[in-house]
């Protein structure tokens, strides 16, 4: 086997050397003598060269197509990711725009004179108890929110802020259907007045309207403005039933509020004038005190031994105003009248 391999190597070596010698001879011989023979001898080299160039070109073309396809697929994947990012940003911007439109709607449905006293808020949660109607808002005392601040949705009364859960950045709202909710209302058609209270569900009850009161289903009820919390003539709800067959002194009147809790997203909280216009409140109490002092002096001149005055400072569940406002607006004038 080794001898055969050596003979094959020697044979190819001799052919290569002979071919090389012949090529060198043709190179030094004038072309006019060896033209046809040159073409014949160089034909294998030309064919090999062409074949090599064709193979290299084919390989290069295949590699270019493979690399180009990979690069195009990579660029396509990058474009798809970019499109997804843009779609996500577009969705976020759309949500922000819709939220801004909903919040703007809360302003446009309320009187323009309230604009400086309105605080926009977003509902962040609802009470899990089926017996209560409460919600949590993302605004608190840092924004000037106070206990019993009215809360509106699309211009209608939907609740008030309660003292429990009032923090710097959040507050708890009692919805209009809660059993602890109270508000003075009147019929927009006949102007008969009553007190609306929640039934713990989607309906409310209007109390203290006499049996002969003119109220029928479909009547619109608005705030009466007699409770010192809610401004008058704000939409509350629509009467769904009115009966005088209860055997009681008053009619049984059910009201469906302006909305159900599941529809509430953005609301507007109305700040008290004391929070936004303290100078106006100061002037009011100053004028009240100055008007009261002559009356006190006249009674003292008549020889009375003492004067006893009475007023409401709180509800059954807490004071009307915060301790800070009480010290700011009430105590100076109460001290002035009591020491006269």
Closest CA to 336 of 292, 302, 280: 292
Report yes or no on 251 lying in a domain: yes
> What is the rounded CA–CA span in Å between residue 222 and residue 240?
15
Residues 92 and 116 in one domain: no
Residues 139 and 247 in one domain: yes
Surface-to-core class of residue 212, CB atoms within 10 Å of its CB (0-12 exposed, 13-18 middle, 19+ buried): exposed
Report yes or no on 18 lying in a domain: no
Residues 264 and 180 in one domain: yes
Residue 40 confidence (pLDDT): 64
The 3-state DSSP class for residue 3 equals helix
Residues 240 and 324 in one domain: no
Residue 147 confidence (pLDDT): 82
Asked if residue 237 lies in contact with residue 259, where contact means CB atoms within 8 angstroms, the answer is no
Residues 225 and 77 in one domain: no
Report yes or no on 104 lying in a domain: no
Report yes or no on 149 lying in a domain: yes
Residues 151 and 261 in one domain: yes
Residues 66 and 215 in one domain: no
Residue 53 confidence (pLDDT): 75
Q: Helices (H) and strands (E) in the chain — how many of each?
A: 6, 14
**Residue ranges for the chain with pLDDT beneath 50:** 2-4
Residue 236's contacts (CB-CB under 8 Å, 6 or more residues apart) are 156, 157, 176, 183, 185, 196, 221, 222, 223, 255, 257, 258
Report yes or no on 6 lying in a domain: no
Residues 130 and 222 in one domain: yes
Residues 75 and 116 in one domain: no
Q: How many domains does the chain have?
A: 3
Residues 293 and 313 in one domain: yes
Q: CATH no. for residue 161?
A: 2.40.10.340
For residue 67, what are the domain limits?
A: 41-99
Closest CA to 338 of 301, 302, 281, 300: 300
Residue 285's contacts (CB-CB under 8 Å, 6 or more residues apart) are 329, 330, 332, 333
Residues 228 and 270 in one domain: yes
Residues 178 and 323 in one domain: no
Residue 279 confidence (pLDDT): 77
pLDDT digits (tens, 9 = 90+) for 211-265: 888 999 999 999 998 887 899 999 999 999 998 876 778 899 999 998 877 778 8
End position of a domain, from candidates 52, 69, 99: 99
Asked if residue 102 lies in contact with residue 147, where contact means CB atoms within 8 angstroms, the answer is no
> What is the rounded CA–CA span in Å between residue 22 and residue 3?
29
Report yes or no on 266 lying in a domain: yes
Q: At residue 279, what are phi and psi to the nearest 5 degrees?
A: -65, -40
pTM of the model: 0.59
Residue 110 confidence (pLDDT): 84
């Amino acid at each position: 086997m080794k001898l055969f391999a050596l003979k094959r190597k020697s044979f190819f070596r001799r052919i290569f050397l002979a071919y090389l010698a012949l090529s060198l001879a043709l190179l030094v011989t004038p072309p006019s003598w060896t033209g046809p023979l040159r073409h014949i001898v160089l034909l294998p080299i030309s064919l090999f060269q062409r074949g090599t160039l064709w193979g290299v070109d084919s390989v290069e073309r295949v590699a270019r197509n493979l690399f180009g396809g990979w690069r195009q697929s990579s660029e396509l994947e990058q474009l798809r990711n970019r499109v997804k990012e843009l779609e996500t940003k577009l969705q976020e911007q759309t949500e922000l725009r819709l939220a801004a439109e909903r919040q703007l709607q809360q302003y446009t449905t309320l009187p323009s004179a309230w604009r400086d006293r309105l605080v926009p808020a977003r509902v962040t949660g609802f009470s899990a108890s089926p017996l209560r109607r409460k919600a949590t808002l993302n605004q608190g005392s840092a924004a000037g929110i106070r206990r019993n601040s009215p809360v509106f949705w699309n211009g209608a009364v939907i609740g008030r802020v309660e003292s429990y859960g009032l923090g710097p950045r959040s507050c708890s709202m009692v919805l209009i259907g809660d059993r602890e909710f109270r508000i003075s209302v009147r019929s927009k058609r006949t102007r008969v007045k009553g007190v609306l209270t929640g039934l713990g569900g989607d309906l409310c009850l209007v109390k203290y309207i006499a049996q002969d009161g003119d109220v029928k289903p479909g009547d619109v009820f608005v705030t009466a403005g007699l409770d010192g919390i809610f401004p008058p003539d704000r939409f509350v709800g629509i009467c769904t039933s009115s009966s005088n067959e209860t055997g009681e002194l008053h009619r049984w009147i059910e009201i469906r509020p302006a909305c159900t809790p599941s529809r509430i997203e953005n609301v507007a909280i109305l700040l008290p004038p004391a929070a936004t216009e303290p100078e106006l409140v100061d002037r009011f109490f100053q004028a009240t005190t100055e008007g009261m002092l002559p009356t006190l002096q006249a009674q003292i001149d008549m020889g009375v031994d003492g004067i006893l005055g009475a007023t409401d400072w709180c509800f059954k569940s807490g004071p009307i105003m915060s301790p800070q406002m009480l010290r700011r607006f009430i105590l100076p004038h109460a001290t002035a009248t009591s020491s006269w």
